[in-house]
Amino acid sequence: MVPSTLEAPRTRTGSARSLRTHRWRRTAGRAATGWAFAGPGTLLVVGLSIFPAVWAFLISRTRWNGIAPARDLGWGNYQRMVEDPELWESVRHTLLLTALFVPSSIAFGLVVAIALSQPIRLIRFYRTCIFVPFVASAAATGILAGYVFNPQFGSANELLRRLGLPAQQFLEDPRQVLVVICLIALWGQVGFVAVIYLAALQDIPKDLVEAATVDGASRWQVFWHVTVPALRPVTVFTGVWQTITVLQLFDLVFTTTRGGPLNASQTVVYYVYELAFQTQRYGYGSAVAYGLFAFTMLLTVAMILYSRRAKVEAF
């Protein structure tokens, strides 16, 4: 009887150890399976996003032309940004383009979405036509727009002549170039905004619209007092998205004007391109790029906080 009483605890201890080992192997197997799927994507994110960002920050604190050894400047490049008139001129162009583009894209996108929500024939064909420019490459859009707005043989001036209006210089006029770039950007981005608004319009409860109509509200009153408040989260989201888009606008400027004429369309991103890849001032170019990143981040956070304080559930 004594040996049997001594063997019982050993058996329970061995079973518990075996159970822990089985659980550990099962957990390790699940983790290995998860990393097998997430590992390649994680390596891409680290390799193509995080590592270049960290490296660019290190470069931004140096003077480096890509060939000679880098010289440490500390925060000198960031202090130099304050006294750079060409940078502030680029900032002014970028902010003016943002003020033109963001409200226009939201307004046109909402109008197009309302039009596409009507029960008309070939509605799917029209929706596809509106969305196609957003899918097209911005570089291709810029090249095509360069021909359309060419002052000598462009179709835009041909249309003005047929209407009896004087021809314009468009992309070659410093006073018109930002407006024309805004129009080109709208052609490519309105489809994206319209699709988002179109989905949001279909989520508005029909009971609210019917109740307002029964109470005697006109179509404009229903739109202003029912539709617009219901679309506030989408409006905040598209506002943030389009602001980030236009602050990073580069391809349209590069393919249409390359910052001209007389630097009238030089945005901050194009200025960074000139600093880094045309004058080989990689350190100062990286500092300007980080300045733009900080401004974009602060603006985005401010808009998100405002939307949450206003109880607009956009994020």
Residue pair 246/185 in contact by the 8 Å Cβ criterion: yes
In whole angstroms, give the CA distance from residue 97 to residue 249.
10
Q: Give the list of residues 6+ apart from residue 103 with CB closer than 8 angstroms, or none.
A: none
The pTM (predicted TM-score) of the whole model is: 0.82
Measured at the alpha carbon of residue 73, what is the angle toward residues 70 and 75, in degrees to the nearest 5? 135
DSSP code at position 282: H
84-310 domain in CATH 2.160.10.10? no
In whole angstroms, give the CA distance from residue 106 to residue 120.
23
- Phi/psi at 72 (5° precision): -70, 130
Lookup: tokens for 133: 């420019």
Q: Which 3 state secondary structure label does DSSP give 204?
A: coil
User: Partners of 62 in the beta sheet?
Assistant: 72
- Phi/psi at 198 (5° precision): -65, -40
Residue pair 97/178 in contact by the 8 Å Cβ criterion: yes
Q: What is the CA radius of gyration of the chain?
A: 29
Going from the C-alpha of 99 to that of each of 14, 105, 150, 190, the distances in angstroms are: 72, 11, 25, 16
Amino acid symbol at 307: S
Q: Where are the domains of the chain?
A: 84-310
More confident residue, 310 or 247: 247
**Percentage, residues of the chain above pLDDT 90:** 29
Most confident of 42-46, 68-72, 131-135, 264-268: 264-268
pLDDT tens readout for residues 177-191? 999 999 999 988 888
Q: Does residue 46 surpass a pLDDT of 50?
A: yes
Q: What is the mean pLDDT of the chain?
A: 86
In whole angstroms, give the CA distance from residue 180 to residue 31.
53
Amino acid symbol at 36: A
Q: Does residue 9 surpass a pLDDT of 60?
A: no
- Phi/psi at 62 (5° precision): -135, 170
The pLDDT-based confidence of 10 (bands split at 50, 70, 90) is low
The pLDDT-based confidence of 1 (bands split at 50, 70, 90) is very low
> Average of pLDDT values for 233-246?
90
pLDDT tens readout for residues 220-238? 888 888 888 888 888 988 9
More confident residue, 36 or 137: 36
**Percentage, residues of the chain above pLDDT 70:** 94
The stretches of the chain forming alpha helices (DSSP H) are 2-45, 51-60, 76-82, 85-116, 123-135, 138-148, 155-162, 177-203, 206-214, 219-222, 228-230, 232-247, 251-256, 268-277, 282-309
